A and B are shown apart, each in its own frame.
Chain A
Amino acid sequence: MELQAVLMAAGGGSRMMELTYNTHKPLLPVGNKPLIWYPLNLLERVGFEEVIIITTKDVQKMLTPDRLKLDGKMKLDVVCIQLEGEMGTADALRHVQQKIKTDVLVLSCDLITDVALHEVVDLFRAHNASMAMLMSKLHEFTETVPGQKGKKKAGEQRDFVGVDATGQRLLFMANEADLEDGLTIRKSIMCKHPSMRIRTGLLDAHLYCLKRCVVDFLVENKNISSIRGELIPYLVRKQFSKSVNLPNNKDEVEMSQKMEGQTNLEILGSCKDEELLRLTQERSCWNDHHGDMSEAYHGGKVRCYVHIMEDGVCYRVNTLAAYIEANRMAPKLIEDPPIHPSAVISECTQVGADSIIGASCQISDKTSIKRSTVGASSTVREKVKITNSILMNGVTVEEGCNIQGSVICSNAVIGRNADIKYCLVGSSQRIEPDARHLDSNLSINDSALGSLKMSRDWPA
């Protein structure tokens, strides 16, 4: 076994509380499949037979193979973590360290992508990298987001990612917020990698290949709690730090010992290339760069790589907008027939090819469904028009409704002749007959949502 897969599925989805306050994020239906199905399917497609899923107790109960609709070859090793206190992704990884015997592939449960995973792993293998990760060009969300129409999104702060001329070696990573004084790069780095591309507008897919020794380092370094927030930036920086590469300088070692409690040495010790590898590098004339005569990788032991997807699908479903977008893309990723065989659809109904109808649905006459997803066990009565919308499971839509660009959560009931445009309807909500709603959030009221957010701060 070369790589062990670890799937982080304990996150609460704090950035889309509207959807997750009563459905756990890994189980949110996307294209009528739970969100977690997508990363599992990704792993399954490339031949993983086992995966460690880190999640909460509540989710574990729901993770039946039946629900996941996997072919059943995958062995799921579900590990529960307590939600008490702040537990970050790195903490979670540390939690399962006993199970980790090889290098690991860590990914998040909200990743929907059609990436050729081997691209990332090949980088990891080819360069004997400490870390290889996946990024993608950021997709512009085109759909209108319910309750947010017309609202200008506050300018999010961009991530600056620096890669070398090949576009693969990760040299630099920072958020705009930390760069108030300008972007600073050491000249020695520029000498080693004289052509650096700084890219913005990239989405970090939160998919990482990590060397075994990095996990060991995490175990030693208890104060790193987040992989994305702390570990990755640390590794990226450490690539060029001499104290890691050449701890000859006594003072430096002492200092780093004082500062990090000997762990700095650990990452060096464990990242030392194996003897054979070292020998190969010594004997071979291969080099990762040209322009000077220094040894491959300039003698650096820590190496970080990134595969950047220029096209293809890659979403992280962590906001409402991304959720809607992912649903729109889902039909293209799923091979199953869009209309579940057990759904009952009367003949005088228009169902667009770009729509998905879940199991045991009942769709009545004179209804038109376009570019929409209808969840399992939903009922749609006569003369209903549904466009660009997402209906989760067990939703009932009464006669004559018009639903456009909206998200209807589970078990909601839409009263007769209601007209709903660009709205979010919370789960088990009842919309009065003849109601007209435009661009609003029809879930539980905002203050309740607020307090909910407070109490369920995002764990992992």
Chain B
Amino acid sequence: MNMAAKTAKQGRPGARRAAVDQDEEEQPLQAVLVADSFNRRFFPVTKDQPRALLPLANVAMIDYTLEFLTSTGVQETFVFCCWMSDKIKDHLAKSKWCRSNSSNTVHFITSDTYRSLGDVLRDVDAKALLRSDFILVYGDVVSSIDVTQALQEHRLRRKLEKNISVMTMIFKESSPGHRARCEEDNIVVAVDSKSKRILHYQKTQGLKKLQFPMNIFHSTSDEFEIRHDLLDCHISICSPQVAELFTDNFDYQTRNDFVRGILVNEEILGNQIHLHVAKDGYGARVSNLFMYDAVSSDMIRRWIYPITPESNFVDEEGKSCTHSRHNVYRGTGVSLGHGSQMEENVLIGQDTSIGAKGHISNSVIGANCIIGDNVILDRAYIWNNVHIADNVAIRQSVVCDGVEVKTGVILKEQCVLAFNAVVGPDVTLPEGTVVSLHHPDEEEEEQDEFLSDHAEAGHNKATKKDKANNSKELGTEGQGYIWKSSSLDHTKEDELAQSLWGLVLNPDPESDSESEASEGSDQPGSRTISPELDDIKVFQTEVQGTLQRGLEENIGCDNLVLEINSLKYAYNITLKEVMQILTRVVLEYPFFQEGADLSTSQYNTLLLPLLKGWAPVFKNYVKRAQDHLNCLASIEEFFLEHEAHWGALVKVLMSAYNLDILEEDGIMRWFSQEGTTDKSKLLRKNQGLLKFIQWLEEAEEYSEGD
């Protein structure tokens, strides 16, 4: 009968349309789950197990993602895997998602050729898998957000304006400083208040000032929001066109590329991205170990309710546990030794035994672990089948499956012991140590084979080879290699690419004060108050900047002279002043570089090479006899202000003399000028200076005699 009704309807064109629309709504909700991160943030842990399967509160991360999708009403999920796809497949085949009664049908699509999210979506397009709006997530998203409302909003937008809105990104409100916010993932978003359209999307890491181009404010709306209190959950509701757009723009690799591309080309292509801010629920992507730590502890503290450790939503045997006071969860068959304390927020997996007098807080311990006596665990994440001997202390570290920690080992913050490593006995691993059975060299050799998770291996050599025998560091029975962080003193980008934990531990405390401090000089307001900001002062800072740039970028002295000359005209500075200021800037430069409290010898070692490098600049300005005197007067003035460094005066004069910046006549004339103040008289009695003068006199006599 239904059929009959349908055919009858289709008789009329209008009705057919309605039927099609209806069809669209009746389509099962689909999702694309990308079970590969396409980066190596969890390296070397992910060498043995793909990120999606890493346990978080004793449950594989992909299970959380699937649970989120299922509970939000997804009926069909395409899981795209690349790295270690078999493992993921095995895992899911055993899970409840593949049982016949699962409301969410899981399809696997594996390919070794995926190297980015872009490849996955291009494949989605090629295979024409999706018929309507779909949810795009990574396999490491933990969330309890109900996206139904966002989905409705998205559909409504698409209904009102066909094919305009291509994506709705889900954000969670959380203020800066929120625990689940990772410094490196901080973003700022500019949104049209009424339409919730994203106008600007930018990562803020390393920025001090946030710039918004004016063209984003030219829309018809009169209210915009700039939000820095949003956490990107990495859940996006996408229109089918998203896949097409990835195909059209083969350079899109990540979602970030996509978002930026859409926003930049908004006027041309007319595609828009909207956002939905979830007020309730939890959503975060475990993008590095910092987030792993944060999400794990949120899980134990029950912030992700209704997903909790004891709910056993994966419905697997052996995953059930009991929840008691202070958020202590115990699996079946857990044995606790006498006097061991579970302080708070502890999750212990099945059949794990813990020795006596232990002290455990804020930690997760997996199944089948054996933990000895007198063990201190704080913020430790111990996975399965780990053996921890007596008298071990572990703080904020991750210990993977099958690891053995011998007696007396201390793990400082942010250590990672990858699969099956052995450490100890009686060693202390310093902060940030990473131990793996894989030799750091392997990666280089296998680089070409590694795809997906390891795709970026080539250009960020995240870890430095350390061929040295590790027995010293890892203890006599130790097995494994230490993966050294090579970049502690290197550039920021390296550090970012490499650190497993993310950048948060040094959340550059200076940045704030620095920006505030610089405020004084570059704030336009202060200038309007007194428009006649001392030109000379400005000139001086400009000269300093020029020299600094010259040093950093290795600019030739000729060009420096050109720049200084143009500054001279810009600020209307006399030649005499140029020289005075130049002298002053150069002499002050070591302080500027290294701070005001330098010893005289440090000052010397810093200054003399500078003088040498900039000698041509000086020579350009110090030509006539009067110039010499002026230059000397500036030097004198500087040293009068820095009494502590009088010892350096002679060196300065000496090298200036040797570099032919100053001539002896000038120096002699300057010296013979009586000092006007007591202090300058005192300066002229400086021992070193007297010697230098004497030496000059002798040299003169000598040359005359010659």
Contacts and interface: CB of A to CB of B under 8 A. Distances in A.
Contact of B533 (A195, A197, A259, A263): A259
Interface in B325-384: none
A437 interface: no
Interface string B509-524: 0011101110111010
B160 interface: no
Contacts of A190: 176, 188, 204, 210, 226, 228
Nearest to B525: A237
A147 B523 CA distance: 43
Contact of B225 (A197, A221, A223, A237): A197
Interface stretch (B15-23, B113-121, B216-224): B216-224
Interface in B645-672: none
Given A182-B214, A187-B207, A198-B223, A234 B517 contact: no
B227 interface: yes
Nearest to A249: B517
A71 to B, nearest CB: 39
Nearest to B190: A198
Interface stretch (A16-24, A238-246, A426-434): A238-246
Contact of A196 (B211, B225, B533): B225
B469 interface: no
A383 interface: no
A200 interface: yes
A233 interface: yes
A198 B224 contact: yes
Contacts of A292: 175-177
Contact of A260 (B207, B229, B529): B529
User: Which of B178, B213, B223, B520 has most A Cβ within 10 Å?
Assistant: B520
Interface string A192-224: 001111111100000000000000000001011
B228 A200 contact: no
B176 A160 contact: no
A269 interface: no
Given A185-B226, A260-B529, A194 B175 contact: yes
A143 interface: no
A160 B516 contact: no
Contacts of B312: none
Contacts of B217: 160, 183, 198, 200
B210 A184 contact: yes
A233 B524 CA distance: 10
A426 B528 CA distance: 40
Interface stretch (A95-103, A250-258, A385-393, A442-450): A250-258
B526 interface: yes
A179 interface: yes
A142 interface: no
Size class of the A contact interface (CB-based, 8 Å) = 35 or more
A279 interface: no
Contact of A291 (B177, B513, B525): B177
Interface in A247-298: 249, 252, 255-256, 258-261, 263, 290-292
A229 to B, nearest CB: 9
B56 to A, nearest CB: 25
A398 to B, nearest CB: 46
Interface in A19-50: none
B212 interface: yes
Contact of B213 (A182, A200, A234): A182
B513 A242 contact: yes
A457 interface: no
B467 interface: no
Size class of the B contact interface (CB-based, 8 Å) = 35 or more
A186 interface: yes
A183 B214 contact: yes
Nearest to B229: A194
B193 interface: yes
B534 interface: yes
B178 A291 contact: yes
A197 B207 contact: no
B530 A260 contact: yes
Contacts of A291: 174-178, 229
B178 A179 contact: no
Contacts of B210: 184-187, 190
B208 A186 contact: yes
Nearest to A233: B525
A195 B227 CA distance: 4
A230 B528 contact: yes
B520 A184 contact: no
Nearest to B206: A187
A195 B193 CA distance: 11
Contacts of B531: 223
A242 B525 contact: no
Contact of A198 (B177, B225, B520): B225
B537 interface: yes
B209 interface: yes
Interface string B171-201: 0001111100000000010100100000000
Nearest to A256: B520
Contact of B226 (A180, A198, A233): A198
A179 B225 contact: no
A366 B577 CA distance: 85
B176 A191 contact: yes
Contact of B530 (A184, A252, A259): A259
Nearest to B277: A195
A290 B173 CA distance: 12
A240 B517 CA distance: 11
A188 B214 contact: no
Contacts of A199: 222-224
Interface in A149-175: 160, 162
Given A196-B226, A200-B223, A234-B525, A186 B517 contact: no
B533 A243 contact: no
Given A197-B223, A234-B528, A290-B175, A241 B212 contact: no
A184 B188 CA distance: 12
B537 A258 contact: yes
Contacts of A242: 513, 516-517, 519-520
User: Which of B193, B207, B222 has most A Cβ within 10 Å?
Assistant: B222
A299 to B, nearest CB: 12
A190 B190 CA distance: 12
A179 B531 CA distance: 19
Nearest to A292: B177
Nearest to A241: B519
A176 interface: yes
Given A242-B517, A292-B175, A184 B525 contact: no
Contact of B517 (A182, A183, A187, A252): A252
A184 B212 contact: yes
Given A194-B176, A223-B530, A291-B229, A184 B516 contact: no
Nearest to A198: B224
A190 B177 CA distance: 12
Contacts of B209: 184-187
A259 B223 contact: no
Contacts of A223: 529-531
User: Which of A186, A223, A224, A238 has most B Cβ within 10 Å?
Assistant: A186
Contacts of B533: 259
Nearest to A253: B520
Contacts of B207: 187
6 closest A-B pairs by beta carbon, nearest first, are A291-B175, A194-B229, A201-B222, A242-B516, A190-B228, A194-B228
Given A181-B211, A185-B226, A234-B528, 14 more contacts: A179-B214, A182-B213, A184-B211, A184-B212, A187-B209, A197-B193, A198-B226, A223-B530, A223-B531, A233-B525, A233-B528, A243-B520, A256-B526, A260-B530
Interface of B: 174-178, 188, 190, 193, 204, 207-214, 217, 222-229, 511-513, 515-517, 519-521, 523, 525-526, 528-531, 533-534, 537
15 contacts: A186-B208, A187-B188, A194-B228, A194-B229, A195-B226, A196-B225, A196-B226, A197-B226, A199-B222, A200-B217, A237-B523, A238-B525, A242-B517, A259-B526, A261-B530
